[in-house]
Amino acid sequence: MSTTIDTIKQQIGENPILIYMKGSPQLPQCGFSAQAVQALMSCGERFAFVNILDNPDIRAELPKYASWPTFPQLWVDGELVGGCDIIVEMYQNGELETLIKATAAKHKDDQPEA
């Protein structure tokens, strides 16, 4: 039986661009998640998300695993980028789009064809 930490590691490993958030990109359940996902969506690349409200085990374990106490959390290429403030700041100065587009390009061969 896999543990919650195993699940988190698998999610981060399988998804080059992943946001742990409250709610979904279409229906965020908190203002911070809404701001973060809006910045991420404006980069124009596909990304995965995990709704921590539907996953209480992940909600409890991820802050310990990541050493990051809050949500949302953006993970790119297996590395924690940060939370809402960092995501929005990176978006405003152009770093987020550069990072997201570079990561998406690097992994485009990994994506299943739609």
Pick out the residues of the known binding site for glutathione.
22, 59, 71, 84-85
What domains sit in the chain, N to C, each tagged with a CATH number?
4-107 (3.40.30.10)
pLDDT in tens, 13-32: 999 999 999 999 999 999 99
Q: Which two tokens stand for residue 73?
A: 């959390």
Give the count of alpha carbons within 13 A of 61, CB side only: 11
Q: Which of the four pLDDT bands, split at 50, 70 and 90, describes residue 114?
A: very low
Q: From the annotation, which residues make up the binding site?
A: 22, 30, 59, 71, 84-85
What is the average pLDDT value for the chain, to the nearest integer?
94
Name the binding residues for [2Fe-2S] cluster.
Answer: 30
The region that residue 24 occupies, defined by phi over 0 for left and psi between -120 and 50 for alpha, beta otherwise, is beta
